[in-house]
Chains A and B, each alone.
Chain A
Amino acid sequence: MIVIDMPGYLQVVVATFLLFGALVALIGSWGLAKLPDFYTRLHGPTKASTLGVGCILIGSLIYFSHQHHGVSVQEALVTIFLFATAPVSAHMMGKAALRRRLPGVARTRNMPDLSEK
C-alpha cells in the first residue's frame, strides 16, 4: 500500500477535485447514454467530460507537484492539450452530423432545413 505523506488541507483539496471531476464525468456519460437525439447528446460528453477530466488532472497536478517537490509540467501539458482539442473535435462531429442530415427531436427550434436537395 502506498503511504501518502501530505498535509491534511492538501488531501482535502485533492480529494474534492477528484470526486467532483468523477461525478461530473459520470453525469456527462449518463447524458450520452440517455438523451434522445444526437444534437443533445453532443452537449453532455463534450462539456462534462472536459470539466470532469480537467478537475481530475488539476487534482493530480497538485498531488504530483507535492510528491516530486516541484511543478509537474506533464500534467499541465495533458490538461492544456485536452482543453484545446475537445472543442475542435466536438465541432467536427457536429458538422459531420449536419452533413449526414441526422433528424433532431420534434420540438427543436430553428432547426436547419435537412431535406435532400
Chain B
Amino acid sequence: MITVITIAMTLFAIAALLNLYRLAVGPDIVDRILALDTLMINSIALIVLADMRMGLGVLFELALLIALMGFVSTVAMSKYLLRGDVIE
C-alpha cells in the first residue's frame, strides 16, 4: 500500500511539472489561469496522498482550504478578464 501511494504521488508530481511547463509557456493569460487551476487540483490530491502516507488524518482541512481558494481565485481572474472588474 505504501508503494502504491508512492507511485501515485510520483505520477502527480510529473503532472504538476507539466502544469508548470504550461504556466511558463502558455501564450495567453487564460492558459496560465487554467494551468494554475489544474495545479491547485493536483496539489489537493498530493496533500490527500501525503496524509494517507503519513497516516495522520488531519490534513483534510488544508485540502478543503486550497480547493476553496483555488476556485475563488480562478473565478475572480476569469471575471476580471470578462468584465474588466471583479465586482461591478
- Count, chain B residues at interface, CB 8 A: 50
Q: Any chain B CB within 8 A of the CB of A93? A: yes
Other-chain residue from A19, A63, A92 in contact with B75 (beta carbon distance below 8 A): A92
Chief secondary structure at chain B's binding surface: helix
Binding site for A on B (CB under 8 A): 1-2, 4-5, 7-8, 11-12, 14-16, 18-19, 21-22, 28-31, 33-35, 37-38, 41-42, 44-45, 48-49, 51-55, 57, 60-61, 63-64, 67-68, 71, 74-75, 77-79, 81-82
Binding site for B on A (CB under 8 A): 1-2, 4, 6, 11, 14-15, 18-19, 21-23, 25-26, 28-30, 32-33, 38, 41-42, 45, 49-50, 52-53, 56-57, 60, 63-64, 67-68, 72, 74-75, 77-78, 81-82, 85-86, 88-89, 92-93, 95-97, 99-100, 102
